[in-house]
């Protein structure tokens, strides 16, 4: 398999100063974010820890392994992954049997005039000055991405639940002129464009991924802010990322109550494993079993960590389902069937792969 052709894929582990790095590593190495790295180091490089004594050798071995074929070695051979959705950069090679593309939605391309201009230029248009022009460009651009192989678009939960077209128009006018829109108006422009995105996703038959929770000021991406948006777009399949951590029960209520909302556990296994295990125990009671996607890593560099992350995902789900078996609420064969559905059948059907 060819190595993906972008700057991230060309990453090589850098021999940084150990004394500067060590205090940070000691502070986090027992946490869940570090565990996939430690699992990967042990599995692929025979190291139980990253230390001053071994880090130079590990850097050399990691760099040597970062070569054409690494995605097949890690994803396919080690993890048993058939298809991987790539959520960054350009679309993968359409002839690549492993990687498929998730593209940032038009509402994520409104931070600068340059980004807006690039989206317009891709469909042979000028920078839009009016909202109807922006909608036309966004829809043409999305259709072009699907034609080129995109299977999904990615947006975010937003504090502006219902956009004000007047404020959105003000922000677009400022952006088109090269100015920086007022922050409140810019939020309304992104929210307005997300409505166009959702409508076009339904028309194209592809889902819309929505980042929720986790980040520094997670109040700006709270999962409950999606409720009105989901209700207004019932024909758009919503792929809700990260279980809204820390608002996991809100996320489960949304997935339970709205037919077009689905629960994606990507990243969640390493963010808060115990929280996730408890959530899965509750999800079995609350959420239809066909609406859960068990795993997705969230890595750009050192993809060996995908293996470690997957190990944790299997472990977490085994704990949650094992609890049901131990309490005689389901049989072992039923637990295995749920595990297969969450890891394989559900995402395959949802993404139509």
pLDDT digits (tens, 9 = 90+) for 293-329: 999 988 877 899 999 999 999 999 999 999 999 999 9
Q: Of 175, 176, 105, 108, which Cα lies nearest the Cα of 142?
A: 105
The residue whose two tokens read 């999800």 is 283
62-112 pLDDT, tens digit each: 999 999 999 999 999 999 999 999 886 678 888 888 989 999 999 999 999
Query: Buried b vs exposed e over 185-211: b needs ≥16 C-beta within 10 Å?
Result: bbbbbbbbbbbbbbbbbbebebbbbbb
Q: What is the pTM of this model?
A: 0.92
- The reported pLDDT for the residue numbered 200 is 98
Find out whether the peptide bond into 73 is cis, omega within 30 degrees of 0: no
Q: 292: which 2 tokens? A: 């859960």
User: Which residues of the chain fall short of a pLDDT of 50?
Assistant: 1-11
């Amino acid at each position: 398999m060819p190595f993906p052709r972008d700057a991230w894929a060309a990453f090589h582990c850098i021999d940084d100063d150990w004394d500067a790095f060590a205090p940070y590593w000691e502070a986090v190495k027992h946490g869940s974010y570090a565990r996939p790295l430690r699992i990967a180091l042990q599995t692929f490089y025979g190291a139980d820890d990253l230390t001053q004594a071994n880090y130079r050798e590990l850097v050399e071995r990691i760099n040597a392994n970062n070569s054409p074929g690494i995605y097949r070695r890690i994803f396919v051979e080690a993890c048993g992954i058939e298809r991987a959705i790539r959520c960054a950069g350009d679309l993968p090679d359409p002839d690549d049997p492993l990687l498929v593309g998730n593209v940032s939605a038009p509402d994520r391309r409104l931070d600068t005039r340059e980004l807006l201009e690039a989206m317009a230029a891709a469909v042979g248009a000028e920078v839009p000055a009016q909202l109807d022009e922006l909608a036309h460009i966004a829809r043409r651009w999305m259709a072009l991405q699907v034609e080129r192989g995109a299977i999904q678009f990615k947006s975010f939960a937003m504090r502006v639940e219902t956009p004000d077209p007047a404020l959105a128009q003000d922000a677009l006018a400022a952006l088109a002129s090269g100015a920086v829109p007022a922050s409140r108006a810019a939020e309304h422009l992104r929210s307005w464009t997300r409505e166009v995105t959702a409508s076009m996703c339904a028309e194209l038959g592809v889902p819309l991924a929505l980042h929720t929770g986790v980040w520094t000021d997670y109040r700006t991406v709270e999962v409950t802010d999606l409720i009105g948006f989901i209700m207004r777009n019932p024909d758009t399949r919503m792929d809700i990322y990260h279980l809204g951590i820390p608002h996991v029960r809100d996320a489960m209520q949304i997935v339970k109550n709205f037919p077009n909302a689905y629960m994606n556990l990507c990243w969640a296994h390493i963010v808060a494993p115990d929280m996730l295990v408890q959530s899965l125990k509750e999800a079995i009671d609350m959420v239809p079993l066909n609406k859960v996607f068990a795993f997705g890593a969230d890595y750009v560099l050192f993809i060996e960590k995908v293996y470690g992350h997957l190990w944790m995902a299997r472990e977490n789900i085994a704990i949650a389902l094992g609890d049901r078996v131990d309490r005689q609420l389901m049989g072992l064969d039923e637990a295995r069937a749920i595990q297969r559905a969450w890891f394989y059948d559900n995402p395959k059907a949802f993404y139509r792969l």
